[in-house]
Amino acid sequence: MSFRLKTIIGIAIIELTVMAILIVINQFNLGGSASTQLYERAQATSRIFANMVSDAVISLDLATLDATIETAVATEDLIYLRARDTNDFVLSQGGAEEALATPFVSDASYQTGLSDHRIDVSADIIVEGVRYGSIEIGLSTQRVEAEIAQALQLNLIVAALGVSLVAVFGYGLGSILTRQLRSLSLGATAIADGNLSHQIEVQGRDELADTARCFNHMATTLATDRDTLLTQQNELLAKKARVEAIVACMSDIVARAEVTAVPDTERLDEIGEMARATVVFQQAMRRVEEARIEQQRLIMAFDQVAEQVAIFDMDGKILFLNTSFRAANQDVLSNLNEDFSYEMFLRKGVEMGVYPDAIQDAEAWISKRLCSKQGERAPEETRRHPDRILLSLQTQVPGIGVVVSASDITELRQSQAQLVQSSKMATLGEMATGIAHELNQPLGVIRMAAANSVKRIEKGRGDLDYLTEKLKRIGDQTARAAQIIDHMRIFGRKPDGQKHPIDLRDSLEDVCQLFRPQMRNLNIQLSLNVPEEAGFATGEKVLFEQMLLNLLSNSRDAIEAADIPEGHVSIHAEFDTAEGHVIWLQDNGGGIPEEILNRVFEPFFTTKPPGKGTGLGLSIGFGTIKDMSGSISAKNNEIGACFKITLPPSEAVLAEAV
C-alpha cells in the first residue's frame, strides 16, 4: 500500500469518525428532545381533558362527555380517549377500536411507548380534593419517529458528501507529499547501489524539503567517508603484513625457536609498540625458561633432602611432594586421588590411625593444623604410627600457598630422653644420702617398736592394746617409707611421650618433698607457697618435675658455692592469672653473672667445673616448658637468682569446666 493511499484512507477514517460522532450527538439531542416533549405533551393533554370533563363526570352528563371525547379524538395525534368513574367503570370513550380493546397500561416514558407506537397515560379527575374518576388517553409517536428518521437520513447524506470531499482533497495532499518522498526513495536506492554522488531535487521549504537537503548532505558525507575508508583500508593491509611478521616472531618465541631480531621496533606507531612488546615478551619468556630450569633444580634439590616437603596452593590443593614425603606417607597417599587437599590428607591419615594424638578429638586436631596464619607457624611435634616423632613446620607463602615440612626427630627425642633419664639418675644419686636418712627414720621407729613388742611378749606383758598401738605405728612408718620410695620410683621412670593435664600443685609438693631432705642436710631451707585450688597445665609430668629438680639443684649448688651459712630457696605459685599459671623460684645464692645471664638456656653451657654439670639441665627445661606452650625466664634480684615460669591452663580441664 502506497503512502498516498495510506494518507487518503487515514484522512477518510478520521472524517468518518468525526461525522459518526456528530450524527450520534445530533440524533441523541433530537430524539431526546422530541421524545421528552411528546411525553410531557401526553401528560398535559390528559390533565386538560380531566379538567374539561370534570363537570360532565360529576353530573353524569354522558352526552356532553361523548361529544367532548368525539371532538378530541378527531385530532391527528390522539389515538383514543376514555373516561372512567371512581369504580373504573367506563363512562365514555372514543378513538381507534383496536387501541380501546387493548387493556390500558400506563407508560413511564417515551421509550416504553415505542413498542406499540403510542404513549398511554392517565390523569385523575379531582375537584376540591375529591377524586371523581380518571381520564385515559393514547398519543401517537409515529410523527416524532418519522422526524427522527428523516433527520438521520439527512445526516447520513451530509456525512457521505463530507467523506467524498475529504477523499478528493486527501488524494491531492497525498500526491503532493509523496512526490518528495518518491524522490527520497529513488535517491536511497541509488546510494544503496553505490552511487554516492547522487543528489535529489529539493522542492519547497517544508520538513520534506529539509529531509531532502539532509539526504543530499548525507550522500556527500558518505562519499567522502568512503574515500577515507579506502585509504585506511590500504593502510591497514600494509600494517597487517607487518603485524603478521611480528606475530610470526611471537609464535617462534612461544615455540622456543631462536629469534635473532624483531622487525619494526623503530616505528613510532602501534606496529612499533607491538614490536617492542614482542621484544619484552621474548625477554620475559627467557626469564620464564630460566625460572623453569631453576624450578627443576629446586625440585631436584627438594628430592635430595631427607626432610619431608609438601606444597599446597591457595585453595589447599597439592602442588608438589618430594621423594621423602612420598616414601614416608605412602600408606596414606595410596588411598588418595592425585589432586587431594591438605585437609583430605590429614583426614585420611586420622581415619587410618596414622596419628595417635588425633584419636581423642580428631576434628580439633585437624582444625588446629588447618588454621594457618600469614607467615610461619611455630614448629610442632607430631607422633606418627607406629613409633615415629615428626617435627612439623607449616609456612604460609604469599602467592603460592602453604609449605608443609617435617623432620623425623625420633632418634633426637630418644637421645634427649636418655639425657633426661641420665640426669634424673644423677639427681637421684645426689639425693641418695638425704633419701637414705629419710628412710632410716621410719625404719628406726619400726625397729624400736618391733623390739619393744617382742620384749613385752617375752615377759608376758604383751597386752592387746599395747601391741595394737605398736603395730599401728609400724604401719604408719611403713606407709611413710613406701611414699618416699614411690616418689623415687615415679621420678625415676622414663617419659612416655604422652601429654596429659598436670596438677601443678601436686607436682610442686612432690618435688619439694623429694628434694627437701637433701636441702636440710646442707642447712638450706626450702619453702613452698601454692594456692589451695589446683592448677592444671598440659605436658609430661616426669619432664616437668625433672625441670623443677634441675632448678632446685642449680639453686643448691649456687648457695653451696657461695658458702652461705643459712641458704634459702622459695617456690611461689599463682594459678589462673591474666598471664596464666605463674611459678617463681628464687634463692639467695648470689645470682647469675650478668654477662652470661642471656646464655643460661643454651645447650652445653655451664659455669660449673668439669664433672659437676653437663650444661643440658636448663636447656632441656627450656624445651620442656616450650613444649607445654609456656615460657621460662631468668633474672637476678637483690639476694640471688629468680626464675619465672608461665604456663597456659590445660584446654582439656577448661573444656570439662565449661
514-555 pLDDT, tens per residue?
Answer: 788 778 878 899 999 999 999 999 988 878 888 888 888 888
**192 assigned to some structural domain:** no
**206 assigned to some structural domain:** yes
Maximum mean pLDDT: which of 244-248, 293-297, 547-551, 649-653: 547-551
Assess whether pLDDT exceeds 90 at residue 171: no
The answer to whether 539 and 624 have CB atoms below 8 angstroms apart is yes
Number of domains in the chain: 5
pLDDT, tens only, 240-288: 777 777 778 878 777 777 777 778 778 877 778 888 888 887 778 778 7
**252 assigned to some structural domain:** yes
pLDDT, tens only, 196-252: 677 777 766 776 677 777 877 787 887 787 778 888 778 777 777 777 777 788 787
Here the cell at position 603 is 645447650
Dmax (CA) of the chain: 183
pLDDT at 657: 47
Looking only at the bridges linking them, the beta strands covering 524-529 and 388-397 are unpaired
Q: What are phi and psi of 259, to 5 degrees?
A: -120, 115
Q: Which of 493, 489, 453 is nearest to 472 (CA)?
A: 453
Range of the domain at 341: 307-402
**186 assigned to some structural domain:** no
How deeply is 404 buried, as exposed, middle or buried, from its count of CB atoms within 10 A (0-12, 13-18, 19+)? buried
Same domain flag for 656 and 538? yes
What DSSP assignment string belongs to 47-114? HHHHHHTHHHHHHT-HHHHHHHHHHHTTSSSEEEEEEE-TT--EEEEEE-HHHHHSPP---SSHHHHT
pLDDT at 439: 62
pLDDT at 658: 42
CATH number at residue 443: 1.10.287
Whose grid coordinates read 379531582?
A: 126
**180 assigned to some structural domain:** no
Amino acid at residue number 488: M
Same domain flag for 454 and 503? no
Here the cell at position 131 is 377524586
Same domain flag for 296 and 225? yes
Same domain flag for 561 and 615? yes
Whose grid coordinates read 590429614?
A: 346
E strand spans, 327-387: 375-376, 380-384
Mean pLDDT taken over the chain: 78
- In the structure, what pLDDT confidence band is assigned to residue 579 with cuts at 50, 70 and 90? very high
Same domain flag for 490 and 597? no
**Residues pairing with 569 in the sheet:** 526, 587
Same domain flag for 550 and 428? no
Q: Within 10 A of 316 (CB to CB), how many other CB atoms are there?
A: 16
pLDDT, tens only, 132-163: 888 888 888 877 777 777 777 887 787 777 77
Same domain flag for 72 and 144? yes
Same domain flag for 147 and 9? yes
CATH number at residue 320: 3.30.450
Same domain flag for 47 and 149? yes
CATH number at residue 618: 3.30.565.10
**270, 287, 304 - which closes a domain:** 304
Residue 385 DSSP one-character state: T
Rounded Cα–Cα distance for residues 300 and 418 (Å): 36
pLDDT at 577: 93
**167 assigned to some structural domain:** no
pLDDT, tens only, 395-430: 887 877 888 888 877 776 666 666 565 665 555 555
- In the structure, what pLDDT confidence band is assigned to residue 372 with cuts at 50, 70 and 90? low
Maximum mean pLDDT: which of 208-212, 327-331, 654-658: 327-331
Assess whether pLDDT exceeds 80 at residue 52: yes
Q: Within 10 A of 138 (CB to CB), how many other CB atoms are there?
A: 27
- In the structure, what pLDDT confidence band is assigned to residue 90 with cuts at 50, 70 and 90? confident
Whose grid coordinates read 631432705?
A: 517
Percent helix / strand / coil, the chain, rounded to 5: 60, 15, 25
**473, 494, 515 - which closes a domain:** 494
Assess whether pLDDT exceeds 80 at residue 394: yes
CATH number at residue 147: 3.30.450.20
**173 assigned to some structural domain:** no
The pLDDT > 70 percentage for the chain reads 80
Same domain flag for 7 and 65? yes
Same domain flag for 243 and 125? no
Q: Which of 201, 200, 196 is nearest to 187 (CA)?
A: 200
Same domain flag for 535 and 617? yes
Q: Which of 518, 507, 551 is nearest to 435 (CA)?
A: 518
**242, 272, 304 - which closes a domain:** 304
How deeply is 629 buried, as exposed, middle or buried, from its count of CB atoms within 10 A (0-12, 13-18, 19+)? middle
The answer to whether 381 and 390 have CB atoms below 8 angstroms apart is yes
